[in-house]
Amino acid sequence: MERFVVEGGYTLSGEIEPAGNKNAALPILAATLLTDEKIILRNVPRIRDVETMVALLKSIGSEIIWLTEDTLSVKTNLPGEKTIELEKRYAGEIRASILLAGPLIARGKNVYFPPPGGDVIGRRRLDTHFMALETLGAKVKTERRGFHIKAGRLKGTTVFLDEPSVTATENAIMASVMASGRTQIRNAASEPHVQDLINFLNSLGANITGTGSNVLDINESSGLSGGNWRIVGDHIEVGSFIALAAVIGDGLRIKNAETKYLNMIRHYFSKLGVEIEISGDDVIVPGKQKLVIKNDHFNEIPTIYDSPWPGFPSDLTSIAVVTATQAEGMVLIFEKMFDGRLFFVDKLVSMGARIVLCDPHRAVVAGPSKLVGTELVSPDIRAGMALLIASLCAEGRSIINNISQIDRGYYMLEKRLSSIGAHIERVSD
């Protein structure tokens, strides 16, 4: 068991760069199943979730080699059997295992899935996936211990998603690429990682239009080729670094920050008083900021809430909470999408934060609060990063346990943060 030992109170400065977007890398790795030709993927974050997806793909025959620390060579070699049963030790560890459904049924395979894993942040339904795949011609049988998906001849049609689910959209896209005729996906998710998947598939020969919108048109492809692709940078990691720099920074430049994806992130951080400058594709967060929450008109308490893209990302809700603890004023954080995301705030309260958890979806934060180091446990990826930010700006020493959760989403985090002045050490029991 590993943990972080963090000495708080040291200012951070210099330059840092986001790793590749894990939420783009995972579906793109799944999409390599759509071709038997070799694919080179660059800027792949070598984090725990990606390593698990690599192991899962290898278990069904893919030949995958790490050429460098962030570059993968992938060649699909599907088994001859009609039915593939995914290994529980891998599929049950990551939520993204469900992303193998679309490409495998597109290749004519029946698949048995154990229940997917992932963060425990509330109910995460799979109904939208099943509905989309059934609309295209697959047959789904569910049970508590897993589910079977039987491939038929997939036919293009109109697929209306009952919610703009990111992974359901990605599954529908991958299944539709080889469906006969034309498919239209309506109420589709349009997050940057969905866009990256579409652009990747088009580079292999797919014919998908509507990128960045909630209506996608997909024309049948006779077959996809190999290729070479660079995973887009992680805008969630950029948002995390912005928050870190705002609460304890002495001037930080975030390089290659994918600034085209930061409009709503910048807007909501500005509500917390965070000043951000754009220089080309870099973000500069000036140092020693005095954060003051900006009230709405008529002096009303402002609200920060998440919503599907291009709204504020749910993955940054936890980060916004800890930023608000260091800002003067009061703000309502409204987590609309997941009913367990805010259950980490008791740990911030134990450090001295002034937070009222109104219900599973809403928390009122009053600041600024002087935080004090303590022993903590990381419950999920994003809450883990929020607790690390809190520990870095707290007085004294903090110990963060269960950092395997943080490792699932952030690449070599302690080394990268140490390079800009953080006092953080990874230790093993």
Instruction: Report pLDDT digits (tens) over 187-230.
Output: 999 999 999 999 999 999 999 999 999 999 999 988 899 999 99
Q: Is the backbone of residue 391 left (phi > 0), alpha (psi -120 to 50) or beta?
A: alpha
Q: Residue 79's pLDDT band (boundaries 50, 70, 90)? A: confident
φ and ψ at 318, to 5 degrees?
-60, -40
CB-based contact 330:364 (threshold 8 Å)? yes
pLDDT reported for residue 120: 41
Q: Which of 49, 70, 119, 380 is catalytic?
A: 119
Q: Residue 85's pLDDT band (boundaries 50, 70, 90)? A: confident
Active site annotation includes 250: no
Q: Which residues contact 309 (CB under 8 A, 6 or more apart)?
A: 189, 190, 191, 192, 194
Helical residues (DSSP H) of 326-423, grouped into ranges: 345-350, 381-393, 404-407, 413-418
Domain 2-19+233-428 in this protein, CATH class: alpha beta
pLDDT reported for residue 408: 87
pLDDT reported for residue 124: 56
* pLDDT of residue 323 exceeding 70: yes
Sign of the CA dihedral running 215, 219, 224, 229? negative
Q: Which residues contact 68 (CB under 8 A, 6 or more apart)?
A: none
Mean pLDDT of 165-173: 96
Q: Residue 117's pLDDT band (boundaries 50, 70, 90)? A: low
Question: pLDDT (tens digit, 9 = 90+) per residue, 264-293?
Answer: 999 999 999 999 999 999 999 999 899 999
Q: Residue 38's pLDDT band (boundaries 50, 70, 90)? A: very high
The pTM of the full predicted model, rounded to 2 decimals, is 0.94
Exposed, middle or buried, 65 (CB in 10 Å: 0-12/13-18/19+)? exposed
CATH code for 22-230? Answer: 3.65.10.10
Mean pLDDT of 331-353: 94
How do the domains of the chain map onto residue ranges? 2-19+233-428, 22-230
Q: Residue 26's pLDDT band (boundaries 50, 70, 90)? A: very high
Cα-to-chain-centroid distance, residue 340? 16
Q: Tokens standing for 149?
A: 């998906």
Domains 2-19+233-428 and 22-230 share a fold: yes
* pLDDT of residue 99 exceeding 60: yes
pLDDT reported for residue 366: 98
Give ∠ CA 233-236-242 in degrees, rounded to 5: 100
